[in-house]
Amino acid sequence: MLHSMTGYASLKGQFESYSWVWDLRSVNARGLDIRLRVPDWIAGLEDALRKAIGAELGRGSINASLKLSREAQEGAQALSAAGLERALAMLAEISHQAGSHGVALGAPSPVEIAAMRGVVENAAPEGDSKPLLLALTAQIPTLLTAFNKMRASEGAALAGVLNGQLDQTAALVGEAQVAAKARASAQVENLRSNLARVMENVDNADPDRVAQELAMIAVKSDIREEIDRLDAHVAAARSLLGGAGPHGRKLDFLMQEFNREANTLCSKSQFQELTRIGLDLKHIVDQMREQVQNVE
């Protein structure tokens, strides 16, 4: 099943006096980049979360955070020296900027300062954090299941779009086969006409040499290999879209191969209809490449 690299999941939980909210989201990336924001006093939580995400995902820029809070109780909150310093520096800067514009500000109260972000934080509890760790890690599979469900839904939509574009590609390859036959008839007539003119104006022309030149022209303009490879690429892409596992990198490589064959088809065409088909192929390949960037 195809998975999108874009996804989101949120999950709430509670244990004793603690309550929390998980937040997990991802966007496109060339590799797997996991960024976590969890309380550092819960020993083992970050490692467990990173390992679980790494086992489930192959690509994407992943951001996971945990907002943890406790019911009000003695010692549940503590003054953050660093947070207070930042808050006071910010207040001093605000007062200075206001003063430069002729605005006088009154001094904030301690309660107002304490309400500023980062001044008062939840204090790390005394005692063993292992029971809380077990409650949190028990929720990680559920969080990842919800996350993967959304990614699978997005992936199914992507697969539908890509399969439709592959249908268009296959139809254009079929048109190229028909156009190549029409071009062959036109080439025969052109070669006969050109050869007749050459033989009329050149004395003692070597028939073998003429035959060699004609053979080289035919080889250089032959597009059967390009058409065969395009057919093979369409089949390979359909197989990847229907298979299990991350296939974004392989699909991206296939898009490069599609583009290469379309370019070669245009350069060899020497026929208006084939050139039109080659340009249409390039347009479809560009559209597919954009979609593939979202595939895990």
184-196 per-position pLDDT tens digit = 666 655 666 656 6
Q: Please report where in the chains the tokens 């057919």 appear, as a residue.
A: 231
Q: What is the pLDDT of residue 2?
A: 83
Q: What is the pLDDT of residue 122?
A: 59
The CA distance from 181 to 60, in Å, is 46
The CA distance from 140 to 22, in Å, is 9
Which of these, 114, 107, 4, 1, lies nearest to 60 by C-alpha position? 4
Answer for the pair 28, 291: CB distance below 8 angstroms, yes or no: no
User: If you average pLDDT over every residue of the chain, what do you get?
Assistant: 85
Answer for the pair 32, 62: CB distance below 8 angstroms, yes or no: yes
Domain boundaries, the chain: 77-122, 154-292
Q: What is the pLDDT of residue 112?
A: 85
Q: What is the pLDDT of residue 181?
A: 79
The percent of residues in the chain predicted with pLDDT above 70, rounded, is 83
In 3-state terms, what secondary structure has residue 183? Answer: helix
What's the pTM value of the predicted model, to 2 decimals? Answer: 0.65
Q: Which residues of the chain have pLDDT under 70?
A: 72-77, 121-127, 184-221
Q: What is the pLDDT of residue 18?
A: 92
Q: What is the pLDDT of residue 208?
A: 61
The CA distance from 160 to 166, in Å, is 10
pLDDT tens string 87-138: 888 888 888 888 888 888 888 888 888 888 778 765 555 567 899 999 999 9
* DSSP codes, 113-157: HHTSTTTEEEPPPSS--HHHHHHHHHHHHHHHHHHHHHHHHHHHH
Name the token pair of 161. Answer: 């779009």
The CA distance from 262 to 278, in Å, is 5
Answer for the pair 78, 123: CB distance below 8 angstroms, yes or no: yes
Q: What is the pLDDT of residue 108?
A: 85
Strands 18-27 and 60-70: antiparallel
